[in-house]
Structure 1
Amino acid sequence: MAWTVWDRWTITGNITLRELLDWLKEKGLNAYSISCGTSLLYNSMFPRHKERLDKKVVDVAKEVAKMEVPSYRRHLDVVVACEDDDDNDVDIPLVSIYFR
């Protein structure tokens, strides 16, 4: 699988953080940090963040980033930090989650 950091990955569906992590795992990537804007939605190093895993990404963004999601907004962009199975950092494209 090849990509550049200029690409964009899209996911359709109002997914949870766990579903996003699983989607990336299927690509051979271990995500350890997920951010939206300047807000950290998830980091595997923080035990309290595990409580967020079964929440919808958009709901976590609303809660953590205190962001309003207007009714016309159909997607949310997240930045994900990943490693491969050898613990090497892997730069991946921006992930757009189309929740509506």
Structure 2
Amino acid sequence: MSPCLKIVGERAYIQARAKGKVGTSVDLSIELYDSRANRTVTSPLRCHDMRFAYEGEMEVCGWYEVTAPRGIPYVARQRWKLRTATAFGGGFESPELTW
């Protein structure tokens, strides 16, 4: 898993990335997270039924443009679940950026 947060000019974007085993199907969730206040800033953005067709394949969910107050440190927070599971688990965060 590899969540990303990037700032381009006046805009911020988040992306979720994952590698999986051939034949596996997953759902990915990505959100912007205020690391100072320890709270989610955006609703989770999701990509459903991401399928891995070959070994080492990288599935990508995003770039999603997000808005949030300036001058605060943020991370992109990613979660995942197997397509057949009911709840998202796991979790990874991108490096922190202040926007």
Larger Rg: 2
TM-score by length of 2: 0.40
TM-score, normalised relative to structure 1:
0.40
**Structure whose residues are more often helix by fraction:** 1
